[in-house]
Structure 1
Amino acid sequence: MFKLLQYLFLTILVSFYYFPIGLSILPSSLNTKNVLALAGIVLLLYSSMRSKRYAISLDLIGAIGLAVFFSMVCLYATDVNHTVDYAYANYYISFAVWLFGAYAVCTAIRLVHGEANFKLITLYLTAVCFGQCVSAILIDRIPSFQILVDTYVSQGQEFFEEVDRLYGIGAALDTAGVRFSLVLVMLSALLVQDAAIRKHAGKVTLLLLAFFTITLIGNMMARTTILGFAMALAYLGIATGVWRMVIQQRFFTFFLIFLLILVLGISISVYLYQTDEAFHDNMRFAFEGFFNWVEKGEWRTDSTDKLNREMWVWPTDTKTWIIGSGLFDNFVYSTDIGYCRFILYCGLTGFSVFALFFVYNSYVFAQRNQRYALMFFFFLAITFVIWVKVATDIFVIYALFYCLDGIETNPFRRQVPAQTPLSPAT
């Protein structure tokens, strides 16, 4: 029972990191991500004092350098344009908050499990995303539960209700969709690479149930989730070799369970679509493109039409193309598109540094562990594809990887293999 409570506590902790929220018991200026970052700083100082010295990997130093350089370019953009919009001029602070928050989360996992590795963080993130999807349905269907959540959680739910969108406890809109997408890809990588899990039919079944639940309900919350589903399927096809139309024996049970759950899920979805009005409406939203294709012969959605019609806004002068206008906040250019917003804010100069930052992170972890190189390639693909829709980033996931154990080191690191980029030197 005590172990179960520990696992539940860790799941909540991971959720507070991955889907940060404001709580009524916290000052309005603090959210759970900030609290975890403060805890991470304290834990890091304590570990450093105990070990007498501390080591940071060259990989992490490179990431810090790029984050600071990007912040400096954005600061220059605000200075040269005489604005006070520091949305990304303070990116180094966001970088540090995510990194120290991840350190706190991984330290807690390490205390309970003895290590913090890829398998454990994937399982906890899967549990968190599954829980968010269940919470979204409960909030939508049970008014008393919605009142309970809205009373103690501050997450801008007034806007979610105004636009009539499902929301969980910190998970909503495209931000949730992007993070669901990352976990779907991680889960597919775990199922392919971890033979011990794949040999256990019960574990495979539970993980695939979570996979399809996150895909279905996550898409009802944010259609961006479909990107992760598509990339997870692409990962499965490439990594298992099934794209050659041949199923290897070691993957036979996995694909059998996959197909059975897929058929069961489609059957239940069709039944609920025909009998439940709320589910019907959510499905129409989640798969609007599919329904338009079937019913009207064209694949389109209202949001895509809006993007194409009015949100491709580019600089109109050379100076803005080079260094931007120093304006980002308050939807100043009436566009959500990441490419447009970043270039309008800090020009091609700042955008190039920001893009390089994510190329660098993906390359670092692909080099550290060749088994998961394809997964990090898909992370990079998500980064560049999602900027077509919204201005956000995925350092939230890389921060966790910088703090995990069990990642193979590359030749440029000066630490012993057992150490992580954020761990006391021994």
Structure 2
Amino acid sequence: MYKYLVHIISVILTSFYFFPIETVFLPGMNTKMALAGIGLLILGKRLAQRRDAGINKNFFVLSLLALGISLISLLTMTINNTPDASFLTYFVSMWVWMGGAYTVVRWLDTAYGYVNVRLVCNQLIAVCVIQCLIAWTKDVYPPLQAWVDSFVGGEAFMGNTKEARLSGIGAALDVAGLRFSAVVVMIGYILSKAEELSHKQVVTYLISFLIIAIIGNMMSRTTTVGVGLALVYWIYSTNLLSLKQNIKNQKLWFWLGGILCVIIPVFIYLYFANDTFYKNIRFGFEGFFSLWETGEWQTSSNDILLEHMVVFPDNWVTWLIGDGYAANPMDKTLSFFDPYYTGPIYHGYYKGTDIGYLRYIFYFGLVGTFVFVFFMWKSAWACIHRFKNYKMMFLMILLVNYIGWFKVSTDIFLVFAIFLVLSKKDDVQTDNILENE
């Protein structure tokens, strides 16, 4: 009983970090902020106990880069005289994520007696699988949706989209899609070492992969990014296309094929027999259905992206330092509403584009965009340097972020943050923030 209770609490805390929510009981504070407050208190206590402790070099560099993003944001706001502070507090946001991650890792260490990369991956996988199952259940069982809405406030609107998309608890839209992609990549990397896993572990990871890949795409088609990267890496790492394929590598493909043989007939039946499943599966895999039915890959979101959102600056000042707008300055519902804005009226975001790289350029130019890109690279490199055996996993997670920015402006620093607070000494939790390398 105790073991199951530990698992449940661990998954809940990890979900509070990975998919933060704001409750109606504590309006104005989400679970990420609460975890960060606890984490920073723990860290402060340990710093006081270790009077000779210095801050890890990687954290110092990352803090400087995050501060640089905030200062460039302040500069573009000042030069352009705009109230849009979208990235002004990024330095604070970075440390809020770090504080939240630190609390989760300290709990895992206390609960399990150790914490390492694999354990963290397993927790994130469990969270994403449960979020997908909750999203599916909410869609077919409305009372669950009503119950969730009764205590989730703040960002609950994320689940009330015009397309009535599936949503979990704090998990919805492209924010969830990019995080699902990162976790799917983790599963892909772990399964590439299938010869080191038991048959039970291979089956468990494969089922988790398929749940996130299928239901995750119904929630956000951005999940496809991670699924594609994982499949490509599987093909490469297992030498699937080589005549010299190691028999040990066949375990992965054998089990995947077996599971698909069971799942596909069930899906075909539900596709024709269940209207809800029909609607969700066609949304999640719209591109594949379009390719099958018309011979062309088309999705409504990509069409909108390519036809209306590809817009570039028309002057060198904007290219250099931006216009100081990321949100729509005409949207009175936003805190960044600008009553003095007299430019063109746009639908959605500034310049009508939601493409990440373009939003960054229009906000703080190539200068800020370059610093932000470098910040994410440094986050990944710090993880790679600390956990060399997981180099490809962190590179693929970084690639998820960079590819995702071609569609949205959401970053996934929080994925790196939870690994950044781990010790490089496997199975022994020490304070990475306080370690000097």
In which range does the TM-score fall when normalised by the shorter chain?
A: over 0.9
Counterpart in the other structure of 2:322:
324
Counterpart in the other structure of 2:96:
97
| Corresponding letter in the other structure for 1:313 | V
The partner residue of 2:205 within 207, 218, 224 is 207
Distance 2:322 2:406 in 1: 18
Compute the displacement of 1:314 (Å): 1.6
Which segment drifts farther, 241-250 or 95-104? 241-250
Deviation per CA, 1:176-196: give whole Å up to 9, x if none: 010000001111222334765
SS at structure 2 position matched to 1:256: helix
Compute the displacement of 1:366 (Å): 2.3
SS at structure 2 position matched to 1:242: coil
Residues 368-407 of structure 1 correspond to what in structure 2 (within 5 A)?
Answer: 368-406=386-424
| Corresponding letter in the other structure for 1:296 | T
Counterpart in the other structure of 2:76:
77
SS at structure 2 position matched to 1:388: coil
TM-score (norm 2): 0.90
Distance 1:245 1:65 in 2: 49
Compute the displacement of 1:378 (Å): 1.2
Return closer, same or farther for 1:76/1:67 CA change in 2, 3 Å cut-off. same
CA contact (8 A) 2:421 2:431 kept: yes
Return closer, same or farther for 1:23/1:361 CA change in 2, 3 Å cut-off. same
| Corresponding letter in the other structure for 2:17 | Y
Distance 2:429 2:2 in 1: 29
Compute the displacement of 1:407 (Å): 5.5
2:20 paired with 1:9: no
Counterpart in the other structure of 1:21:
21
RMSD over aligned Cα atoms: 1.9
| Corresponding letter in the other structure for 1:131 | I
CA contact (8 A) 2:159 2:166 kept: no
Counterpart in the other structure of 1:285:
283
Counterpart in the other structure of 2:191:
191
| Corresponding letter in the other structure for 1:179 | R
Counterpart in the other structure of 2:236:
238
| Corresponding letter in the other structure for 1:421 | N
Return closer, same or farther for 1:405/1:341 CA change in 2, 3 Å cut-off. same
Distance 1:9 1:243 in 2: 43
Counterpart in the other structure of 2:301:
303
Compute the displacement of 1:147 (Å): 0.6
SS at structure 1 position matched to 2:350: coil
Compute the displacement of 1:266 (Å): 2.2
Deviation per CA, 1:101-123: give whole Å up to 9, x if none: 10011000010112221110111
Which segment drifts farther, 180-189 or 355-364? 355-364
CA contact (8 A) 1:342 1:351 kept: yes
Residues 11-160 of structure 1 correspond to what in structure 2 (within 5 A)?
Answer: 11-26=11-26, 28-154=27-153, 155-157=155-157, 160=160
Compute the displacement of 1:246 (Å): 4.2
TM-score (norm 1): 0.93
CA contact (8 A) 2:65 2:375 kept: yes
Distance 1:117 1:191 in 2: 17
Compute the displacement of 1:158 (Å): 6.8
Counterpart in the other structure of 1:355:
373
Distance 1:143 1:405 in 2: 43
Which segment drifts farther, 323-332 or 216-225? 323-332
Compute the displacement of 1:14 (Å): 0.2
SS at structure 2 position matched to 1:63: helix
Distance 1:340 1:278 in 2: 36
CA contact (8 A) 1:109 1:116 kept: yes
Distance 2:290 2:191 in 1: 33
| Corresponding letter in the other structure for 2:398 | L
Counterpart in the other structure of 1:257:
255
Deviation per CA, 1:310-331: give whole Å up to 9, x if none: 0112212111110001111232
Counterpart in the other structure of 1:268:
266
Counterpart in the other structure of 2:219:
221
Distance 1:118 1:86 in 2: 35
Distance 1:126 1:356 in 2: 27
Gaps of 5+ in 2: 329-348
Indicate the percent of aligned positions where both proteins have the same amino acid.
36
Compute the displacement of 1:57 (Å): 1.7
| Corresponding letter in the other structure for 2:119 | L
Deviation per CA, 1:378-413: give whole Å up to 9, x if none: 1221122111110110101110111113468xxxxx
CA contact (8 A) 1:122 1:190 kept: no
Counterpart in the other structure of 2:177:
177
SS at structure 1 position matched to 2:408: coil
Compute the displacement of 1:257 (Å): 1.1
CA contact (8 A) 1:235 1:374 kept: no
Distance 2:66 2:241 in 1: 38
Compute the displacement of 1:361 (Å): 1.9
